[in-house]
Amino acid sequence: MLRLTLVRHAKSSWADPGMRDFERPLNPRGTRDAPVMAVRVSELRRLPDHLVSSPALRAFTTAGVFADRLGFSAEAIRLEPRIYEASRETLTGIVRELDPKSRHAMLFGHNPGFSELARWLATCPFHDMPTCAIASLELQISDWRELGPGCGKLAHYLYPKDGAD
């Protein structure tokens, strides 16, 4: 069994309307939520062995907060440019290419692709994951290349406003 944990980036700032979407930083709420959610993930005691992030500033910043809390260096985060603005199909391809030695990958990225991927893999109680939400899926496969519709079960769904697992 493999585990895939999807983390939507924390809330980003729209303060500068001229800023490119790719460069938007976290806003104060995102800066507050990311460490809280990283602690909640660490309490699950299901540490990933592989971190992969969109290079967009808000996603990479979120990944950095999680990496620090989970005991990884920032250098351990693999940047994957295809995650930015990725469709469910693109994300499926990225996951299928993960290192076969990895048993638990944590991806940091964006909607709508993350929500669509989670719902494609498992029955989920959400349509759209809110910012800084986490969907951790147990996959009934032994190789990432076997990833397919319905192969997973939602093990944990956490988001900042739920207050508990």
Do residues 105 and 52 make contact, with C-beta atoms less than 8 angstroms apart? yes
Please, what are the domains in the chain? 2-11+23-135 (3.40.50.1240)
With b for 16 or more beta-carbon neighbours within 10 A and e for fewer, the 67-96 pattern comes to bebbebeeeebebbeebbebebeebbebbe
d(CA 164, CA 139) in angstroms, rounded, equals 23
CA atoms in the 13 A half-sphere facing the CB of 76 = 18
Question: Which pLDDT score is estimated for 162?
Answer: 85
Question: Which pLDDT score is estimated for 160?
Answer: 95
Q: What is the pLDDT of residues 87-141, one digit of tens each?
A: 999 999 999 999 999 999 999 999 999 999 999 999 999 999 999 999 999 999 9
Its pTM stands at 0.96
Q: What is the pLDDT of residues 27-77, one digit of tens each?
A: 999 999 999 999 999 999 889 999 999 999 999 999 999 999 999 999 999
